Amino acid sequence: MSMRLAAVLMCALLAGCSSSEVGFGTPVQPSPGAFPGHRETITGAVEVQGNGCIDLDLGAQGRRWIVWPEGTTTGGDGADIIVDDHAVTGADTLTGTGALATASVLPGWESEDSYFGGFGRFCSADDLGIVVFDDVAVAS
């Protein structure tokens, strides 16, 4: 296990670290369409896991780990993901354009020591798959 992943796991267990102190930050696609996959309109409910990972519940299509669009910002010392000036919570529904894919499309996935390889595995992206948003909004 990498030292970085071990630090994140310890932080999660102790529940005393903010993402600005240690952790992975927010998984973001560097530009729209940078990660491969068929683009489509995607709508689902946000699910925040006990370990802090954020998934999108697509109903019959299951849950997927979210990779946010370029320019996604954070607030609350890095602990909140902000979409349309709104801190995303488990009560929100998101809609946007993006791709449903396996985690293997993420750069560096094959290495547990890479950003996406470590963070994605921590968030079970290898089991769940991913949703990569090119753009996203909180549905009203």
- pLDDT 10s digits, 70-84: 999 888 776 789 998
Eight-state DSSP code of residue 30:
S
> pTM of the entire structure?
0.82
Residue 101 forms part of a structural domain: yes
Residue 34 forms part of a structural domain: yes
Residue 112 forms part of a structural domain: yes
User: What gap in Å lies between CA 70 and CA 79, rounded to an integer?
Assistant: 18
CATH code (residue 84): 2.40.50
User: What gap in Å lies between CA 96 and CA 41, rounded to an integer?
Assistant: 6
**CA-closest candidate to residue 119, choices 9, 30, 16, 21:** 9
Helix residue ranges, H only, the chain? 3-14, 115-122, 125-128
Encode pLDDT of 40-72 as tens digits: 999 999 999 999 899 999 999 999 999 999 999
Total number of domains constituting the chain:
1
**CA-closest candidate to residue 83, choices 140, 131, 37, 123:** 140
What average pLDDT does range 7-16 have in this prediction?
36
Domain that holds residue 61: 26-138
